[in-house]
Amino acid sequence: MITIPAKPYGYELPLTGVALIIIDMQRDFLEPGGFGDALGNDVNRLQAIVPTLKQLLEAFRQYRLPIFHTIECHQHDLADCPPAKLNRGKAALKIGDPGPMGRILIKGEPGNGIISELAPVLGETIIYKPGKGAFYNTNLATHLQERGITHLLITGVTTEVCVQTTMREANDRGYECLLIEDCTESYFPEFKQATLEMVCAQGGIVGWTAPAAAVLQGLAETGWDTPKAALDLVNTPVG
Ligand code: TIU
């Protein structure tokens, strides 16, 4: 167990039960011509978190800790996209329409993939999700239960939409959630700030927030000098 300095108070992290959750770091949200752009957003401002998130991802890889990437997407026939989502807004390009990176928000299209800097590697789990929350209509909960995961470090985009929805879903399912402040971003800075404040208000009503450096420091203080040491700990049977 390590304690990460966090808001509203120290986050107790058992290293046998933690996973890194990376929400929707897709070209559809971070690059021109995708879904985020079609909704009228300045997508470039989401790029700022990529180097820090990459650092956290590499630390989890080094210590052989579980990593989950989510992808917001829909089937080719849009059977999993409710009309309420399909028809919302007045965007020029809707979900399923052909865009410069392929069909907007459709699974397998070039624009729907995770950005190259954070591309998943073998052993990491990809959760394809049709909603904003990563638990809705996915097998994420089953994966977490099977691996004895109780604590989620939550990152990705956008802070007040898919990230916050997922954190609230997780909180109601009994997970202890830490939102990584400099590994999440929004098209609206004021919405990001409000989200960071609201999740840890009221004594941590939804969870905790901390910068990535606090987690990296906590991992460094485990004294693990090799990935092997981390692997031994992770492989220790839980309970
Ligand atoms: N529009 C917006 O801010 N977000 C989304 O539509 N999806 C995610 O947050 N991933």
pLDDT exceeding 70 applies to what percent of the chain?
Answer: 94
Question: Is 46 close to ligand 1, i.e. is its CB under 6 Å away?
Answer: no
| CA-based nearest residue to 208, from 164, 174, 173, 178 | 178
pTM, two decimal places: 0.94
Q: Report pLDDT for 90.
A: 85
Q: Which atom of ligand 1 is nearest the CA belonging to 158?
A: 9
Question: Is 72 close to ligand 1, i.e. is its CB under 6 Å away?
Answer: yes
Residue 192: pLDDT above 50? yes
| CA-based nearest residue to 126, from 142, 111, 114 | 114
Strand, coil or helix: 159: helix
Burial of 73 (0-12, 13-18, 19+ CB in 10 A): buried
How many angstroms separate the alpha carbon of residue 147 from the centre of ligand 1? 28
Q: Report pLDDT for 180.
A: 98
CA 228 to chain centre: 26
| CA-based nearest residue to 65, from 220, 227, 237, 179 | 227
Contact 131, 137 (CB under 8 A): yes
| CA-based nearest residue to 177, from 199, 192, 194 | 199
Structure token pair of residue 94: 């809707």
Residue with tokens 């304690």: 3
pLDDT, tens digit, 9 for 90 and up, residues 199-227 = 999 999 999 999 999 999 999 988 775 55
Q: Which atom of ligand 1 is nearest the CA belonging to 165?
A: 9
Residue 193: pLDDT above 50? yes
Residue 193: which residues within 8 A CB-CB, separation 6 or more?
none
Q: Which atom of ligand 1 is nearest the CA belonging to 162?
A: 9
Question: Is 185 close to ligand 1, i.e. is its CB under 6 Å away?
Answer: no
pLDDT, tens digit, 9 for 90 and up, residues 94-118 = 999 999 999 999 999 999 999 999 9
Burial of 186 (0-12, 13-18, 19+ CB in 10 A): buried
pLDDT, tens digit, 9 for 90 and up, residues 38-93 = 999 999 999 999 999 999 999 999 999 999 999 999 999 999 999 999 999 988 89
- d(CA 73, CA 95) in angstroms, rounded, equals 9
